[in-house]
Amino acid sequence: MSTARPVDGLEQRLRRLGADRYHHRHPFNLRMHEGLLSPDELRTWILNRFHYQRHIPVKDALILSKLGTRELRQSWIRRIHDHDGVPGEDGRPAQDGGIERWLRLGEAAGLQRGLLMSGEGVLPAVRLAVDGYVNFCRNATVLEAVASSLTELFAPDLMTTRIAAWERHYPWVEPEGLRYFQMRVGQGRRDAEEALALVERWTRGRRADENLALEAVAFKCDVLWSLLDAVERAGEKAAEHARGPSDAV
Ligand SMILES: O=C(O)c1cc(C(=O)O)c2c(n1)C(=O)C(=O)c1cc(C(=O)O)[nH]c1-2
């Protein structure tokens, strides 16, 4: 009988990486779930995450341009519609997208959509993290660019936790605001399944290619982690400012 351990498949390796490095473990998210964020901290997160959200269709358009067949493009283009929405014949939206729902989330938390649209208040490190993700999808191979979306394997569970935490701890956010996350749970599951099937098809169990996919997901975890580091630090600075000058010499 062989005592060799079976070699883990790609999905198992991805799930192990996520368990370790996905932003569900970030202290800011842990505080969010425990109900410990102030209204200003939650609003800072919503405003800065909008910068990420509005760039998702841009990175998906870059990925679209790398897909070599009609079938792949037909499928991937849905992601752009999911976020940008679909215009109707009369110029009014036939289908709202995630960006519109995120603007409503801002309004539900007391942030005017004009402020979110202006980009005012987006933290420098958040701009860099989001640029990093967009440029990764611009410059990497199609395998790596598609693989970098695979953090979505972990997002639906995190959003389910988030919805429950917000209902419980932040009732001042109007329930309509949660629509973004409620819609995204199903969309994220479907997107992750689709991307995983593509990455498995392209890597065909070759270890070196699987490693490239894992590195892309590790990079994406760093993007999401850095974004929260910046938001968390902004909250600490605001609290220090509110306390006034310290006595330390
Ligand atoms: O709130 C979250 O924790 C979270 C995480 C992620 C993710 O893991 O990339 C996405 C989203 N939300 C999200 O809303 C979203 O539309 C999305 C698209 C993508 C992607 O890489 O294509 N990730 C995510």
How does pLDDT run across 68-99, given as a tens digit for each residue? 999 999 999 999 999 999 988 887 878 899 99
The closest residue, in CA terms, to atom 16 on ligand 1 is 53
243 lies in a domain?
Answer: no
Whose Cα sits closest to atom 24 in ligand 1? 152
Phi, psi of 150 (to 5 degrees): -75, 0
User: 57: domain range?
Assistant: 10-84+94-236
CATH of the domain at 155: 1.20.910.10
Q: Which atom in ligand 1 lies closest to the alpha carbon of residue 22?
A: 8
Long-range CB contacts for residues 72-76, cutoff 8 Å, separation at least 24: 72/198, 75/194
Q: What is the DSSP letter of 62?
A: H
CA atoms within 13 A on the CB side of 60: 22
pLDDT confidence tier of residue 2, bands split at 50, 70 and 90: low
241 is a domain residue: no
**Token pair recorded at residue 220:** 């994406």
Domain count within the chain: 1
Helices (H), 65-122: 70-84, 98-108, 113-118
Is residue 112 one of the residues assigned to a domain? yes
What is the sign, positive or negative, of the torsion defined by CA atoms of 124, 42, 29, 215? Answer: negative
User: Residue 46: which of 131, 130, 153, 121 has the closest Cα?
Assistant: 121
**Has residue 174 been placed in a domain?**
yes
pLDDT in tens, 169-220: 999 999 999 999 999 999 999 999 999 999 999 999 999 999 999 999 999 9
Determine whether the shortest distance from the Cβ of 101 to ligand 1 is under 6 A: no
CA 79 to chain centre: 13
Q: Kindly state if the Cβ of 152 falls inside 6 Å of ligand 1.
A: yes
Question: Token digits for 131?
Answer: 């640029």
User: Is ipTM > 0.85 here?
Assistant: yes
Task: Write the pLDDT tens digit of every residue in 131-162.
Answer: 999 999 999 999 999 999 999 999 999 999 99
Instruction: Confirm if 63 and 76 have CB atoms less than 8 A apart.
Output: yes
222 assigned to some structural domain: yes
Residue at 110 is within a domain: yes
